[in-house]
Amino acid sequence: MKYFPVLISSLALAGCGKSPLDGVETVVVGNGLFEISLYAEGELRAAESTPITPPPGSNKPRTIEWMVPDSSWVTRGDLVARFDATDAQRGTQDVGIELSKLDIQVMAKQRELERLLGELGNELDLVDVEKLMAEQFSINNKLAYSRYEIIDAMRDKELLDYRSGHLEEKKDTYRDREGAEVGVLSAVRETQESQYEEHKSQLENSGIYAPHDGFFVYEKTWFGQKVDVGSTVFPGNKIASIPNLEKIQAVLNVLETEAVGIAKGQVVEVVIDAFPDRPLSGTISHVSATASPIARDIPVKFFTVTVDLDKADPEWIRPESQVSAVIAVNRIEDTIFIPNQAVFSDDSGDWVLVKEGRDLVRRKIRLGLRGANRSQIVSGLERDTRIALFPPGENKS
């Protein structure tokens, strides 16, 4: 800034000739509401909403086949979305065939066991008959038979007892083996049945119905695109919501470099782009802890500022409406302020040029809050004082 002497004599009395300071623009210092505001843009969102998620019954991702138009009005019970059921239909048929095959295999195992047990039963019957005949062959009269005949008879009986026991063990073995094989088939069948029930559940729950009246609003993905027909979603993922129109908020994006001083509780004026003649008021309820980009390919960072609106008329205030807003970062009632171009600075501090009679006098001031266009004066100036907007010879008019 240029340095000016303590007294600048420049104005001549009327009729005494033209003064070098003629035409210097001045302004009268006033007082009133001093406000530092910040401009931001964003959109309206509901503070509360009912999430719309895929119906239960499946742990697999599903593809959206159809949805009602975004932001359309729906009534409770209306079909609002439907998932592609082609894979579920095909899966139900394929698993049904596999279940039939497993049932046939189980029946075959059971019939094979019955055949083997029948054969063993016949052999056991023959052994029992032979044992009965051997037991009826009396050897009590040792004088009637030779020694070898007696030994052979005893051996035949022991052999028949061993064979009978062996056949009983084979029966147990066949039963155990058949039980194990059928158990494996049953386990496979349980798995197939589980898949069948899941496919069946997908078929039965391929549609989503509105839980209550309201606007059906598509959900946005983490990179800003909306979920739409053809999107693949996982169980539990929100695909849309039905907002509560009685509680609407404005969600604003504020540049990281301009967000200094923004805090909870500050007053905000919001204007919906579609209704510029209907301004709304509200207060900041939340400011994000960190700034982040709002577009994947643009590195500029923004703070997210949430504003609770004082009133929300559902007749014309809708979620996702684009808005612009003015945030009152600082508000001071009944204080003195001047335009920034009237403030000069050097090594000694801040000062202004005060008009005293026909002269401009340098006066030191102390500044308070500074905005983009105006600055608060803490001391050094009084109301109704006239000051120069620009130095002499640098009139900007």
DSSP letter assigned to residue 226? B
Q: What angle do CA 152, 157, 162 make, to 5 degrees?
A: 125
Is the model's pLDDT at 116 over the cut of 70?
Answer: yes
Q: Please state, in angstroms and as integers, the Cα–Cα distance from residue 168 to each residue in 110, 120, 125, following that order.
A: 18, 8, 12
Least confident of 98-112, 149-163, 309-323: 149-163
Instruction: State the pLDDT at residue 155.
Output: 54
- Label residue 276 exposed, middle or buried (CB < 10 Å: 0-12, 13-18, 19+): exposed
Instruction: State the pLDDT at residue 3.
Output: 39
Instruction: State the pLDDT at residue 365.
Output: 95
Instruction: State the pLDDT at residue 201.
Output: 79
Going by CATH, does the domain composed of 86-204 fall within 1.10.287?
A: yes
Place of tokens 């991702």: 61
- State how far the Cα of 112 lies from the Cα of 334, in Å rounded to an integer: 102
Percent of the chain scored above 70 by pLDDT? 84
pLDDT (mean) for 27-37: 86
Is the model's pLDDT at 141 over the cut of 70?
Answer: no
Instruction: State the pLDDT at residue 146.
Output: 53
Does the fold of domain 86-204 match that of domain 7-36+333-388?
Answer: no
In b/e form, how buried is each residue of 58-95, taking b as 16+ CB within 10 angstroms?
beeebebeebbeeeeebeeeeebbebbbeebeebbeeb
Instruction: State the pLDDT at residue 291.
Output: 93
Instruction: Give 1's pLDDT tier (boundaries 50, 70, 90).
Output: very low
Is the model's pLDDT at 22 over the cut of 70?
Answer: no
Report domain extents, the chain.
Answer: 7-36+333-388, 60-82+211-243, 86-204
Instruction: State the pLDDT at residue 176.
Output: 78
What is the CA 151 to chain-centroid distance, rounded?
Answer: 91
Instruction: State the pLDDT at residue 152.
Output: 52
- State how far the Cα of 371 lies from the Cα of 264, in Å rounded to an integer: 19
Residues 6+ apart with CB under 8 A from 167: 120, 123, 124, 127
- State how far the Cα of 166 lies from the Cα of 163, in Å rounded to an integer: 5
Instruction: State the pLDDT at residue 37.
Output: 86
Greatest mean pLDDT among 175-179, 201-205, 207-211: 207-211
Out of 3.20.20.10, 1.10.10.2840, 2.40.420.20, 2.40.110.10, the CATH code matching 7-36+333-388 is 2.40.420.20
Instruction: State the pLDDT at residue 156.
Output: 62
For 46-102, how does the pLDDT look when each residue is reduced to its tens digit (9 = 90+)?
999 999 999 877 788 889 999 999 989 999 999 999 999 888 778 777 888 887 888
pLDDT (mean) for 123-150: 59
For 296-347, how does the pLDDT look when each residue is reduced to its tens digit (9 = 90+)?
788 899 999 999 999 888 888 888 899 999 998 888 888 999 999 999 998 8
Q: Tell me the pLDDT of the chain averaged across its residues.
A: 81
Is the model's pLDDT at 115 over the cut of 60?
Answer: yes
Least confident of 76-85, 171-180, 235-244: 171-180
Is the model's pLDDT at 38 over the cut of 50?
Answer: yes
Instruction: Give the CA dihedral 67, 42, 245, 318, nearest 10 degrees.
Output: -60
Instruction: State the pLDDT at residue 70.
Output: 92
Instruction: State the pLDDT at residue 246.
Output: 83
